[in-house]
Amino acid sequence: MNKEKLFGLDVGNLNKAYGNAIKAFMLMRYKIDTNNKIPLVSKPIEFVPGLEQVFRGEIPNKSFDTDVLVGTIRMGYGHHRMAYSVYSWVLQKKLKPLLHDLLAIDSNEATAIKEVDSLYSQFSRASSEWGGITEWAWGQITAQGNIGSLYLSSILAEAYKNLLSDINTSLPYISTYPLNGQIAVESGFKSVHQLICDNFPQYYLLVPGAMNYVQSPSSYYKYIEMGVPKENLEIAGHWVSEPIATNAKLDSEARLRRINQKEAKRILLAIGGAGAQKNYTLELLDKIKDKLKSSEIHLYINVGDHKGIYESLLEKLTELNISSTTVSSFKDLLQFTEDHSFHNKESKKPFAVTLFCFEKHFEAFLTTDHLIRISDIMATKPSELAFYPIPKLFIRRVGDHEAMSAFRSMELGEGTTECREVNHAVEMIKLLTEQDSILTRMNECVIKNFEDGIYFGSKKVVEQALKI
């Protein structure tokens, strides 16, 4: 494996000067002392039995009881979802994963990363809500992850090494966000594995000195063209959690039975971690109200932890006189998914809309994974959910880098075009709910992709990292 800094690629003196200036500013602005080790401990996560997570403690825990570290960051929901896709497979193999979320460790380093993330979320929401030149500008920014951005991220990783203080570097480290992997490499971890998100190759998504995995052949070939050494790159498949990947064929067959039995379609609409789909969703509700009131479709909206969006949706549903209910605890979510399993008959008339709203980030992103298995169609922006085994209706993207993820789903036959305007989405809902042949074909494609092993990317990475 190539262990050179930046794979030996030329960064240029200007990029180096710019990157080092930003690093110096960040160290000063956030008072980051690279010599001050952070005491780290692990604690269980209540929503995922068997999973522990790294936090700051009073004194360091010198011997973490784990088989593998899974690195992530709370930047929206996508990277935590990718991490779940990894540790769900580790747990399935009866091993112990340790979640390493950079933002969960109380420190100046985490504050620096968190404030940058906050700006990203703010710009994402603004681009979606305002459109026009704001959306164009944000699209350009999110598609410009050049070699200079990789250099900057890598030298910042040197300054953030205390986020891995005193953890055994012989443990395998599986990263679902590039900064995690870069910090692991700088900290001396011997076995680092980076899951690359999206389907739009950018330098800053890479981890030099690690094995980098992509989800599609087109992404692989583009990275090779960009100069990434072949020994540091591999096609793995899609990042899908174990319960969904394992049951993708059975769930698709159940969806086909529901089509044949003319069951009302269940559409899952997932609000992203940045909360950028509020206005789009409000307008969509207004334009599909007749289908909701007539019980032609039932809508599940996972609002996540966006309380403000939840309140706006509730107000809109009241205004439109659409029946709704709310699920707000993880216990109630599990009961809801059991009651609405594809294998159960509806015991009573369902509400037109069910809203899911939670206090905690873990509940927020995990809910979508649970609801996928009881839904016929998922409406989502082309984020990491674009790679999941369910017929998908793509709504407006947040950042131009997401467009290629929709293309990947379309080439596999399981997703629509991106519906940038609400009227387009309404037409797609009409097609998917009234013309059985289209939804049937999508489910048949999911079954074929399952049989081809496309949804088992996270399983493959886990097996290679743990050498099992």
How far from the centroid of its chain's Cα atoms is residue 139's Cα?
Answer: 19
HSE-up (13 A, CA, CB side) for residue 257: 10
Percent residues over pLDDT 70 in the chain? 92
First to last CA, the chain: 20
Three-class DSSP labels, 313-375: HHHHHHHHCCCEEEECCHHHHHHHHHHCCCCCCCCCCCCCEEEEECCCHHHHHHHHHHHHCCC
Mean of pLDDT values over 47-63: 88
Position 123 pLDDT exceeds 90: no
Burial class (CB in 10 A: 0-12, 13-18, 19+), 408: buried
Lowest mean pLDDT among 25-39, 127-141, 240-254, 337-351: 127-141
Q: How far is CA 95 from CA 48, 65, 77, 86, in A?
A: 13, 10, 24, 12
Position 79 pLDDT exceeds 80: yes
**Rounded to an integer, what distance in angstroms lies between the CA atom of residue 268 and that of residue 393?**
10
Position 128 pLDDT exceeds 90: no
Percent residues over pLDDT 90 in the chain? 76
Position 459 pLDDT exceeds 60: yes
Which has more pLDDT, 143 or 372? 372
pLDDT category, 7, cuts 50, 70, 90?
A: very high
**Rounded to an integer, what distance in angstroms lies between the CA atom of residue 466 and that of residue 403?**
33
pLDDT at site 134: 36
pLDDT at site 273: 61
pLDDT at site 118: 52
pLDDT at site 293: 96
pLDDT at site 422: 96
Element (H, E) at 15: helix 13-29
Mean of pLDDT values over 41-65: 89
Summarize pLDDT for 389-405 with one digit per residue, the tens: 999 999 988 778 788 99
Q: Which amino acid is at 407?
A: F
Position 120 pLDDT exceeds 50: no
pLDDT at site 132: 47
pLDDT at site 276: 66
Can you tell me whether residue 77 is helix, strand or coil? coil
The pTM for the full model equals 0.93
Of 49, 75, 82, which is closest to residue 398 (Cα–Cα)?
75
Alpha-helical regions (H) of 143-274: 147-159, 178-186, 217-225, 242-246, 248-260
pLDDT at site 127: 38
Summarize pLDDT for 235-270 with one digit per residue, the tens: 999 999 999 999 999 999 999 999 999 999 999 999
Summarize pLDDT for 160-216 with one digit per residue, the tens: 999 999 899 999 999 999 999 999 999 999 999 999 999 999 999 999 999 999 999
pLDDT at site 75: 79
Position 274 pLDDT exceeds 90: no
Q: Beta strand pairing status for 40-44 and 52-56? A: antiparallel
Q: What is 243-451's CATH number?
A: 3.40.50.2000
pLDDT category, 15, cuts 50, 70, 90?
A: confident
How far from the centroid of its chain's Cα atoms is residue 250's Cα?
Answer: 23
* Inter-helix orientation angle 147-159/178-186, to 10°: 50
Structure tokens of 383? Answer: 């984020």
Burial class (CB in 10 A: 0-12, 13-18, 19+), 151: buried
pLDDT at site 301: 97
Tell me if 36 sits within 8 A of 162, measured CB to CB.
Answer: yes
Which has more pLDDT, 116 or 1? 1
Residues 6+ away with beta carbon under 8 Å from 22: 152, 156
Tell me if 189 sits within 8 A of 85, measured CB to CB.
Answer: no
Q: Per-domain residue ranges for the chain?
A: 5-237+457-466, 243-451
- E strand residue ranges, 4-60: 40-44, 52-56
Mean of pLDDT values over 68-74: 96
pLDDT category, 140, cuts 50, 70, 90?
A: very low
Structure tokens of 34? Answer: 């690279």
Summarize pLDDT for 310-355 with one digit per residue, the tens: 999 999 999 999 999 999 999 999 999 999 999 877 656 789 999 9
Summarize pLDDT for 301-313 with one digit per residue, the tens: 999 998 999 999 9
pLDDT at site 400: 80
Position 124 pLDDT exceeds 50: no
pLDDT at site 379: 96
pLDDT at site 397: 86
Q: Which amino acid is at 96?
A: K
Q: Tell whether the torsion through CA atoms of 249, 251, 257 and 259 is positive or negative.
A: negative
Q: How far is CA 61 from CA 9, 43, 105, 109, 447, in A?
A: 38, 11, 14, 20, 45
